[in-house]
């Protein structure tokens, strides 16, 4: 069993699946959550509840700069748009670069070598900071900048959304994923569907729902 890891938590399906995956592989885990002016408090609540459930320390950092920079639908009052073939406007430029840098500073202090992040193939088509090439390059930069061994572990990298549901089933956490994670861009928690809470209409809900339906047919 590996020793220590720090897991980036967002309160969403992917990072929560990563956390439970890591629980079986590491002796000690710490979590890290960023308050970056995301619109819905529920994401933080989900991350906090899961950290408490697993009795892990949750480091929290507030980064107001993304809202100030603006131009994206996650931190600013801009309608979500993924209609063109370009990167959707839910992309927050620099987000994973900054998050991984903060995580590496915590890892350095806590003598942790492994940073776990839930990026995956299906985000890759939209978000450049979810690509394997970026992760490898960032790992290299952090190692050089810290003069320490730093490994960025991406357990979901090659998985589809259906594959991530399958992994959560294998980990025995389907129910936790449905009830204790949040994906919906509209922050809707009014109704529990077979695939979890959400409005069922926004791009995030549709991706989550489609993945779940595909998982049922695997």
**How far is Cα 152 from Cα 81, in angstroms, rounded to an integer?**
30
Which residues have C-beta within 8 Å of that of residue 36, sequence separation ≥ 6?
62, 63, 64, 66, 67, 75, 92, 95
List residues binding Zn ion (CB under 5 A). Answer: 184, 186, 198-199, 202, 205
DSSP state of 155: T
**How far is Cα 141 from Cα 17, in angstroms, rounded to an integer?**
26
Least separation, in Å, of the C-beta of 147 and Zn ion?
44
Which residues have C-beta within 8 Å of that of residue 83, sequence separation ≥ 6?
none
Least separation, in Å, of the C-beta of 126 and Zn ion?
17
Least separation, in Å, of the C-beta of 68 and Zn ion?
26
Closer residue to Zn ion, CB minimum distance, 90 or 96 = 90
Distance between alpha carbon 110 and the CA centroid of its chain, in Å? 21
Closer residue to Zn ion, CB minimum distance, 29 or 184 = 184
Nearest to 136 by CA among 93, 167, 100: 100
Rg, the chain, Cα only: 16
Closer residue to Zn ion, CB minimum distance, 99 or 185 = 185
Closer residue to Zn ion, CB minimum distance, 25 or 189 = 189
**How far is Cα 13 from Cα 19, in angstroms, rounded to an integer?**
10
Number of continuous H segments (helices) and E segments (strands) in the chain: 9, 7
Least separation, in Å, of the C-beta of 91 and Zn ion?
18
Closer residue to Zn ion, CB minimum distance, 105 or 199 = 199
Least separation, in Å, of the C-beta of 5 and Zn ion?
31
Closer residue to Zn ion, CB minimum distance, 174 or 207 = 207
Least separation, in Å, of the C-beta of 112 and Zn ion?
34
């Amino acid at each position: 069993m590996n020793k220590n890891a720090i897991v980036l938590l967002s309160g969403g399906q992917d990072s929560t699946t990563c956390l439970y995956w890591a629980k079986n592989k590491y002796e000690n885990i710490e979590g890290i959550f960023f308050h970056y002016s995301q619109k819905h408090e529920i994401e933080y609540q989900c991350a906090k509840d899961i950290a408490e459930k697993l009795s892990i320390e949750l480091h929290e950092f507030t980064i107001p700069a993304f809202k100030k920079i603006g131009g994206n639908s996650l931190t600013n009052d801009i309608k979500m748009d993924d209609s063109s073939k370009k990167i959707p406007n839910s992309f927050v430029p620099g987000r994973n670069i900054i998050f991984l840098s903060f995580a590496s500073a915590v890892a350095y202090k806590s003598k942790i070598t492994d940073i776990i992040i839930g990026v995956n193939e299906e985000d890759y088509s939209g978000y450049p900071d979810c690509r394997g090439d970026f992760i490898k390059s960032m790992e290299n930069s952090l190692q050089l900048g810290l003069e320490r061994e730093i490994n960025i572990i991406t357990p979901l990298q090659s998985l589809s959304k259906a594959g991530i549901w399958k992994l959560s089933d294998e980990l025995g956490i389907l129910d936790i994923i449905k009830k204790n994670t949040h994906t919906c861009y509209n922050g809707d928690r009014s109704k529990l569907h077979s695939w979890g809470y959400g409005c069922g209409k926004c791009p995030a809900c549709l991706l989550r729902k489609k993945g779940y339906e595909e998982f049922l047919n695997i």
